[in-house]
Amino acid sequence: MVELETGGFRNLICSYIIDVEKPLLVESGPTNSIPKLLSGLEELHVKPQDVEYVAVTHVHLDHGGGAGTLLKHLPNAKVIVHPRGLPHLVDPERLWPSSQSVLGFISEVFGKPEPVAKDRIITATEGTFDLAEGAKLTVVETLGHASHNLSFHESFNGGIFPGDAAGTYIPEFNVVVPTTPPPFRLDIALASLDKLMSLNPTVLYFSHFGIADNAVQRLKDYKAQLQLWGDIAEEGVSRNQSLQQIRDRIVAEDKVMSQIADFVKNHRIYSKTMLENGVLGFMEYTKHKQTAVSP
């Protein structure tokens, strides 16, 4: 695991290096953190020219945003991404303004993505990549957080890299919090969690942030937490409540959120991504669902 310390924030974003015969990175991380990731490779004595794959769970700036910059330093590596992520890697010009509008100042902390040449991209929604004698990385399509979120299962320890499909792990408190910006899809996210649970993973390698044991229980708890947020948002939207009112009820009724409310409220990044964008994702999902079923 490489602590990327993006923008000076610790415990926020990390990448992973699988140091085998054909070294593989999971998550390029954001553009501004590429020097930090390269020093992680150096520390492990992994030569940049030996890196075979960079698997990105999705193309949001904090996960795959740095892929273009990273590939300039890894002459033989290819990026593994969901097919719906490919156009954004090849031409990040559309992703950047939409990221700026959703993330505000945080997009500047992450940095503007550089393009990736199309012939250096492998798209996948399933299948396995051979890494070393008998060791494999299996692609699992886990949509919901994004329309193109992949998870990766590794056969060494039976762990899963979920990207943002299993929430944000806050190691300071050993808890998980929903990561659900618009256009979040609750129904699809829940199905993705079932998919991950069915693989019976031993550990979760969170991109935010770090390695967590007790993986199946965490996925189960995350599912219940998403359902709770969904119920509160649905009721709030039907009563025309504001984002603030719905958020306050979530903080009061979700045991995890009540426990870490002060930490999240005072966190420059999480106060926006969890307490604003995350709640908004549920509200928009509810509205979308209502318009979808009305005649």
Q: For Zn ion, which is the closer residue by CB, 52 or 164?
A: 164
Least distance between Zn ion and beta carbon 161 (Å): 12
Q: For Zn ion, which is the closer residue by CB, 62 or 284?
A: 62
Q: How far apart are CA 270 and CA 280, in angstroms?
A: 14
Amino acid of residue 17: I
Q: Which DSSP category does 96 fall into?
A: H
Q: How far apart are CA 65 and CA 96, in angstroms?
A: 9
Is residue 170 within a helix (H) or strand (E), and if so which, with residue range? strand 168-170
Least distance between Zn ion and beta carbon 163 (Å): 7
Angle at Cα 243 formed by Cα 241 and Cα 246, nearest 5°?
A: 65
Q: For Zn ion, which is the closer residue by CB, 20 or 188?
A: 188
In 10 A of CB 239, how many CB atoms?
A: 9
Binding site for Zn ion (CB under 5 A): 62, 164
| Phi, psi (degrees; rounded to nearest 5) at 139 | -85, 130
Burial class (CB within 10 angstroms; exposed 0-12, middle 13-18, buried 19+) of 236: buried
Least distance between Zn ion and beta carbon 96 (Å): 16
Least distance between Zn ion and beta carbon 126 (Å): 22
Least distance between Zn ion and beta carbon 172 (Å): 18
Q: For Zn ion, which is the closer residue by CB, 146 or 233?
A: 146
Least distance between Zn ion and beta carbon 63 (Å): 5
Q: For Zn ion, which is the closer residue by CB, 52 or 62?
A: 62
Q: For Zn ion, which is the closer residue by CB, 46 or 212?
A: 212
- How is residue 224 written in tokens? 């219940």
No. of helices (H) and no. of strands (E), the chain: 11, 14
Alpha-carbon distances of 221 from 84, 217, 253, 283, rounded to whole Å = 29, 6, 15, 21
